[in-house]
Structure 1
């Protein structure tokens, strides 16, 4: 699925900037170059980070919980973001 274009709820790995190597979730799409990211810890939903797509590595994982929450209510809890990322990192470590 590794498309060039991100979708809401998609997990990304930050390659450049203040937190290289960190994972975050796309919570908004600005245009074809920029997305808004949050992780529920350092970057809360209410203060997302605007990031250039060239500085990100899109992962094949999309958090359906985050995507549904944003689609239905226009927002997502920071707890849900943390949970989705923790699940993803755990699966990565197990090599799934």
Structure 2
């Protein structure tokens, strides 16, 4: 399920592997360049305070939150509620897979 060979995409779910937010899930909400992205989760890390993260400090999960991606395509932004909803959906669908991978 996790694959470092993926290139980051807006709406992609990630696991933060380094820093204060280590072990938490986030969603890529902005791609800065080929090394850095901005991550938010809509809860502890809101959209207006996105965290700039080095891609090497993230586990990219092969899962794109469609509602987040389509929101960016339609409006150019995303709400904190959409981010929370996307993460909740992901956790409900894949919590068993995450437990197996630990």
Counterpart residue number, 1:27: 29
Matched, 1:5 2:7: yes
- The alignment's TM-score, normalised by the length of structure 2, stands at 0.87
Matched, 1:54 2:59: no
**C-alpha separation in 2, matches of 1:34 and 1:27:** 11
Moved over 6 A (4+): none
1:45–1:75 contact (8 Å) kept in structure 2: no
CA-atom RMSD, angstroms? Answer: 1.6
Structure 1: stretches of 5+ with no match in the other structure: none
Counterpart residue number, 1:80: 82
- Give 1:26 shift: 0.4
2:73 alignment partner, SS class: helix
- The alignment's TM-score, normalised by the length of structure 1, stands at 0.92
- Equivalences for residues 36-47 of structure 1 within 5 A: 36-47=38-49
Structure 2: stretches of 5+ with no match in the other structure: none
**C-alpha separation in 1, matches of 2:26 and 2:62:** 13
**C-alpha separation in 2, matches of 1:95 and 1:41:** 23
2:6–2:62 contact (8 Å) kept in structure 1: no
